[in-house]
Structure 1
Amino acid sequence: MKKTTYDVVIVGAGTAGIMLARELGKFKQKVLVLERKKSLLEFSFKTLASFINLEEFGLTNYSVAQEIDFAVVHSKSLKEKVKVVGLTLDKVKLHEEIINSLDDDFIDIELGVHIKEIIADAENNYTAVKDKNGKEYTAKIFVDASGTTGVLSKKIGLIPKITDLATGVEYNAKYLGNDNEIHLLIGKDYKGGYGWVFPLKNKRAIVGFGTFDKIMIKGLKDNLNAILELPTIKKLVLKDNDIVEGGSIPITPVIDKFVSGNLVCVGDSVSQVNPIVGEGYKFIFESAIMASKVIHQALIKDDVKLLSVYEDQWKKRFETNYIRSKVAQKRIFSLTKKDFLIDVGLVLLKLRANKKNVETLSGEYK
């Protein structure tokens, strides 16, 4: 049933938006989710590897494509196997599970809505968001969960209008390796980028190539095809189709400003992906749940100033880890064009305790 008034309007029904909607529905807040796509299950990437514990987020194993016991890091000459507890996830099934758990009594979703601006009154309180057709949507609190588009976060200056992105492409290919191992590949052959192989079920895997280099982006598919000819890759996958998928994640400096008045930003709209390996879902889900509790309190007490608590809690939980991950990211990718330095890095990885290597890969430092 459509509501006439809403407590919260969420712009974006991706990772952050649907998790936030689910949590606010539990609090019995009236929520409208606006999504520019015509489908809630349209993705540029259909799989991901994650260190997420699904039970912590009230999710089942429905979306698990493969359980992962090892992350194998490759240079041109060496490799190191890190013992991990990870998963390859089917994004479609993961989102299906969350969407099916939404409380229809409190949550409405409208598809095909392109939000263009946010409207403020004379006291600089946001009163509505407006779509490309001029229709306005009102609420007490607004949320930007629009991903890298940053529909609202960029408009009000919480994030730069032009942001750096890590962009990747991948194939679903026949898998020749061990089902319980993901593979991360760096070195000169990857031209300053990086490669990955994530196993799925039925001896299939995702093989991909990504880069931070703007110059490389136009040639991503060609570079992916080139690395498929590398001996290390050929031992792991066999390309048997030409269907390529692709997408981007933000690589801005660590951001800790997510609130402006009665506007809250969650997820890629404020670069909440962990910098080190692009681990997004675990951190964004946690951020969305954190934001939902603060939004609920602000609505109960009718005080949007309480929304700043979300920033304080996020900083306490994530900021140090993100700063360390950002340093590690810069260090790793400054070395990727020199195989000798990457080999040295792999040797150092071998000398470290497995626990420390897991911290680096997962972005969860103790």
Structure 2
Amino acid sequence: MNNFDVVIIGGGTSGLILARELAILKRKTLVLDRKNNLVEFSFNTLGSFMNVEDFNLSKNVIAQKINSLVFQSKRVKREIETDNLFVLDKKKVHEELIDAIDTDYVTLKTNVHIKNIVKEASGNFSSIKDKNNIEYFGKIIVDASGTNGVISKKVGLRETKSILATGVEYNVEYLGDPSKMYLLSGKDYQGGYGWIFPLKNKRAIIGFGTFNDEVVKHLKPQLSKILELPLIKKLVRKDNELVEGGSLPITPVLEKFVINNLVCVGDSVSQVNPIVGEGYKFIFEAAIMASKAIHKALEKDNIELLKTYETVWKKRFSANYKRSKNAQEKIFKYTNNDLVMDFALLAMRMRSNDRIIRSVSGEYGLETK
């Protein structure tokens, strides 16, 4: 029987941690994903200020500990020390999440392409249907389908057509300090920015991303040009042709994630912090918030309690996300100008390390340790 307490569309970041938490709460849960393999990704690493132990992950998911973050424009460098920045191995993160899921309560089903959601006369949603018209019934439906927004777009929680920030990257030989991460800006990055994420064994990820549709058409050739820049040649050496890539939605700050018994988490409602780009820390927190609201709503048989998820999320994130969105828009506007970016990094020298880390990590309102 396809009847569950919770049906989750998507076995990515948000879907897996939500399933893990719901299993702990002993909720019968079904996770559906269109992929055959839940640990294959377009991007395999990410930079994060997440303390993995806060989310019951081991240090095995850390690909590299970062001790300093370097902001580099054409002529100016601003380097700051940090003790809470890491490069994470996405495959290991997801493998640990999958291994931690209690299969007595959670069923994982792959190669399922969800196409529609069935709405009752009451306004509640009774089930979802896949491309073969098979129905999956849940007391609560969750869209955790990532940027596809399979259901969130259908019900109007996210716009149908999104502006996307798209990036490409190579895994390369690293000639620099393995404890230093680089964020790169200026005209060479054509309205976007670049990054170098060190890994173990003298390897690194070098990437370039933008939201400019015209530049997106030529991302790989532009990244090849970036690899020829004198500064970059001192830091990395490309020794393969395997390019990776992916996209994130550029949307207004969203605050509505619930319609009746439908709950949305993660990229399906753009829960990546706008200034950070990497969203694992924020998506993990949001999924845990959602799990608590779902459990309480099922326990009390009252779907109105699902809205506590939105309330808690707004209190924790809303103000910071709005500030981040403002910063994101300024970055998109000015990063294509070398002089402006040089000036911005010179001005950054007047700001404390702590303040910069709080801004970059998306935690404006919190003091770092």
Same fold per superposition (TM over 0.5): yes
Check the 8 A contact 2:2/2:135 in 1, yes or no: no
Query: Using the alignment, how far apart are the partners of 2:249 and 2:81 within structure 1?
Result: 28
Query: Using the alignment, how far apart are the partners of 2:138 and 2:338 within structure 1?
Result: 54
Pairwise CA distance, 1:277: 2.4
Residues 13-92 of structure 1: pairs in structure 2 closer than 5 A? 13-84=11-82, 85-92=84-91
Name the counterpart of 1:9.
Answer: 7
Report the 3-state secondary structure (helix = DSSP H, G, I; strand = E; otherwise coil) of the residue aligned with 1:249: strand
1:134-173 Cα deviation digits (max 9, x unpaired): 0000010000000000000000000000011110000000
Query: Using the alignment, how far apart are the partners of 2:88 and 2:244 within structure 1?
Result: 16
Report the 3-state secondary structure (helix = DSSP H, G, I; strand = E; otherwise coil) of the residue aligned with 2:191: coil
Name the counterpart of 1:270.
Answer: 269
Pairwise CA distance, 1:4: 5.0
Q: CA RMSD in A?
A: 0.8
Name the counterpart of 1:302.
Answer: 301
Pairwise CA distance, 1:71: 0.8
Query: Using the alignment, how far apart are the partners of 2:205 and 2:340 within structure 1?
Result: 27
Query: Using the alignment, how far apart are the partners of 1:222 and 1:270 within structure 2?
Result: 31
1:157-211 Cα deviation digits (max 9, x unpaired): 0000001111000000000111111100000111111100000000000000100
Q: Which amino acid aligns with 1:330?
A: E
TM-score normalised by length of structure 1:
0.98
Query: Using the alignment, how far apart are the partners of 2:118 and 2:89 within structure 1?
Result: 37
Check the 8 A contact 1:175/1:199 in 2, yes or no: yes
Query: Using the alignment, how far apart are the partners of 2:299 and 2:25 within structure 1?
Result: 10
Report the 3-state secondary structure (helix = DSSP H, G, I; strand = E; otherwise coil) of the residue aligned with 1:351: coil
Pairwise CA distance, 1:333: 2.1
Matched, 1:175 2:174: yes
Residues 211-222 of structure 1: pairs in structure 2 closer than 5 A? 211-222=210-221
Report the 3-state secondary structure (helix = DSSP H, G, I; strand = E; otherwise coil) of the residue aligned with 2:196: strand
Check the 8 A contact 1:273/1:280 in 2, yes or no: yes
Query: Using the alignment, how far apart are the partners of 1:83 and 1:322 within structure 2?
Result: 24
1:66-101 Cα deviation digits (max 9, x unpaired): 001111000000110122221101100110011000
Q: Which amino acid aligns with 2:231?
A: T
Residues 106-121 of structure 1: pairs in structure 2 closer than 5 A? 106-121=105-120
Report the 3-state secondary structure (helix = DSSP H, G, I; strand = E; otherwise coil) of the residue aligned with 1:39: coil
Query: Using the alignment, how far apart are the partners of 1:317 and 1:168 within structure 2?
Result: 29
Query: Using the alignment, how far apart are the partners of 2:15 and 2:116 within structure 1?
Result: 18
Q: Which amino acid aligns with 1:326?
A: K
Q: Which amino acid aligns with 1:34?
A: L
1:323-350 Cα deviation digits (max 9, x unpaired): 0011111112211111111111001111
Give aligned pairs, total: 364
Query: Using the alignment, how far apart are the partners of 1:237 and 1:364 within structure 2?
Result: 31
Name the counterpart of 1:103.
Answer: 102
Check the 8 A contact 2:275/2:362 in 1, yes or no: yes
Name the counterpart of 2:335.
Answer: 336
Structure 2: runs of 5+ lacking an equivalent: none
1:217-260 Cα deviation digits (max 9, x unpaired): 11000111010001111111100000000001111010001000
Check the 8 A contact 2:68/2:81 in 1, yes or no: yes
Check the 8 A contact 2:2/2:137 in 1, yes or no: no
Query: Using the alignment, how far apart are the partners of 2:138 and 2:332 within structure 1?
Result: 43
Name the counterpart of 1:126.
Answer: 125
Query: Using the alignment, how far apart are the partners of 1:267 and 1:181 within structure 2?
Result: 29
Matched, 1:197 2:196: yes
Identity rate of aligned residues, in percent? 57
Matched, 1:345 2:319: no
Report the 3-state secondary structure (helix = DSSP H, G, I; strand = E; otherwise coil) of the residue aligned with 1:138: strand
Greater Cα shift, 334-343 or 154-163? 334-343
Name the counterpart of 2:184.
Answer: 185
Query: Using the alignment, how far apart are the partners of 2:36 and 2:278 within structure 1?
Result: 26
Pairwise CA distance, 1:122: 1.1
Runs of 4+ deviating beyond 4 Å: none
Report the 3-state secondary structure (helix = DSSP H, G, I; strand = E; otherwise coil) of the residue aligned with 1:309: helix
Matched, 1:242 2:241: yes
Query: Using the alignment, how far apart are the partners of 1:184 and 1:236 within structure 2?
Result: 13
Query: Using the alignment, how far apart are the partners of 1:25 and 1:96 within structure 2?
Result: 16
Name the counterpart of 1:326.
Answer: 325
Q: Which amino acid aligns with 1:341?
A: V
Check the 8 A contact 1:279/1:362 in 2, yes or no: no
Residues 113 and 80 of structure 1: CA distance in aligned 2, closer, same or farther (over 3 Å): same
Q: Which amino acid aligns with 1:244?
A: V
Structure 1: runs of 5+ lacking an equivalent: none
